[in-house]
Chains A and B, each alone.
Chain A
Amino acid sequence: MSQPLGIDSVEASDAELVRRVRTGDIGAYSTLVARYRNRLGRYAVHMLGDREDAEEALQDSFVRAYRSLDRCDDPARFGAWLYGILVNRCRTSGARAARRRRMFVRDADALNGATHADQADRVEWSDTVNRALARLAPEYREAFLLKHVEDLEYDAMARLTGAGVSALKMRVKRAREQLQRFLKEAEHV
C-alpha cells in the first residue's frame, strides 16, 4: 500500500527545503512560508501597527525572498536572512503608514468577547501598549522590537539594520524611556 506522496516531512530543515526549492520543487517553499509566517508576523504586526499592512509586508517579503533565493548564502540560516528582508520591507511600509497617520486598530472581536473584567483589562492593556508603541519614532520602535521582542544580539541587529551597535543601543534606550513616559501618561487619562 503506497504512502501519500509528496508530503514534506515536518522535520525537514530550512537548509533542506531551500535546497529542494533551488532544484525546482516550488512546493517546498510553502513549508518555509508556513514555518515562518507567525514569527515574522509578530514583528510585522508590532512594527507596522496594522494587521493588513503586516500581511502585505509579509507576503512581499516571502515572495522577494523566493525570487532572490540564490543570494541566500547560508541556507541553514534562511530564517535570519528572511528576517532581514522583512525588516527592510517594514521600513517602506512604515513610512507609508506614518503618512496616513493610521492609529492602531483595536481587536474588535476581543472587545466584543470581553465579558469579564480581567478580559477587558487585558484588551485595554494591549491597546495601551500598541498606542505607546505607535508613538515611538520608527527607528526606535524597530530597535526596541528587535532587541526585546525578537531577542537579537546587537551584532545581528547591526547586520540587519546597517546601523552601528552604539547607535542601536542608544535607540533602544530612548525607546524604553519614551515608552515609560507614554505609559505613565496613559495611566492618568
Chain B
Amino acid sequence: MFDRDDELVDRVVRQLRQPVSIDPALDDRVMAEIAADPAPRATSRPRFALRPWPWLAAAAVLGAIIIARPWTRGADNSGSNAFQFVLVAPQASSVALVGDFNDWDPARSPMRTAQGVWATTVPLAPGRYRYAFLVNGVEWRADPGAPDAHDDEFGTPSSVITVGGNGS
C-alpha cells in the first residue's frame, strides 16, 4: 500500500533513472551509415536516412566477393579514384587500415563493420602503396586477396596495391 502519492511517483522516478545499456554495436552501425556518405557538412535540409542495417549488411557481404578489388583497376586512371578495402574479421572489435596513403596512421581510415565484414574507402592517386590491416590494435594482417608486399622488413605482413595512370 502506498501512503502518499508523491512517494509513489518517486518510486517510479527511481526505477526510470536506472542506467540503461544499449548494445555497443550501435556505434558501428552509426559509423557505417556515416561512412557511406562521410561529408560532414549538412545540406540545408537534413533528411532522415532510411535505416540501412539490412541492406548494408548484404551489400558488405556481396562486396567482399564481387566488388572490383582495388588492384584490378590498373588502367587509364587519371587523378584519384576511390578504392574499397575489405577484411572479413567477425571476431575483431576494431580494424584499422594503414598504409603509404595515410601515413600508417590507424586513426585516419577507420573501418566500419557490418556482420563481421570490415570496409572502408580511400581515394588513391596513381602510385604503388604498401598497406596492412591492424586488428584490435595489436595484430597485423595482410590483405588475403592482394599481392604480398614482398619486401617486408619490419617482420609483419603487408600487401600492395598499385594504381595506374599518369603520375606527376
Report yes or no: B30 in contact with A38, Cβ–Cβ below 8 A: no
| Bound Cα distance A184, B8 (Å) | 9
Please choose the segment from A55-63, A94-102, A109-117, A160-168 that sits at the chain B interface, where 4 or more of its residues have CB less than 8 A away: A55-63
CB contact under 8 A between A37 and B108, given known A64-B46, A69-B40, A183-B12: no
| Bound Cα distance A122, B111 (Å) | 41
Report yes or no: A55 in contact with B137, Cβ–Cβ below 8 A: no
Q: B-side binding surface: helix, strand, loop or mixed?
A: loop
Chain A residues with a Cβ closer than 8 Å to the other chain, count: 51
| Bound Cα distance A26, B48 (Å) | 19
Q: A-side binding surface: helix, strand, loop or mixed?
A: helix
Report yes or no: A63 in contact with B9, Cβ–Cβ below 8 A: no
Report yes or no: A70 in contact with B40, Cβ–Cβ below 8 A: yes
Cβ of B100 under 8 Å from chain A: no
Report yes or no: B30 in contact with A125, Cβ–Cβ below 8 A: no
Cβ of B24 under 8 Å from chain A: yes
| Bound Cα distance A62, B27 (Å) | 9
Question: Nearest 4 CB-CB pairs, A to B?
Answer: A6-B107, A41-B22, A68-B42, A42-B20
Which A residues have a C-beta under 8 Å from some C-beta of B?
4-8, 21-22, 24-27, 29-30, 33-34, 37-38, 41-42, 45-46, 54-56, 58-60, 62-64, 66-71, 89, 125-126, 129, 132-133, 145, 148-149, 176, 179-180, 183-184, 187
Which B residues have a C-beta under 8 Å from some C-beta of A?
1-2, 5, 8-9, 12-13, 15-17, 19-24, 26-27, 29-31, 33-35, 38, 40-42, 46, 48-49, 51, 96, 105-108, 110, 137
**Can you list 16 A-B contacts (CB < 8 A)?**
A6-B106, A6-B108, A30-B30, A30-B31, A30-B110, A37-B24, A37-B26, A42-B16, A55-B22, A68-B42, A70-B41, A71-B42, A125-B15, A176-B5, A179-B8, A180-B9
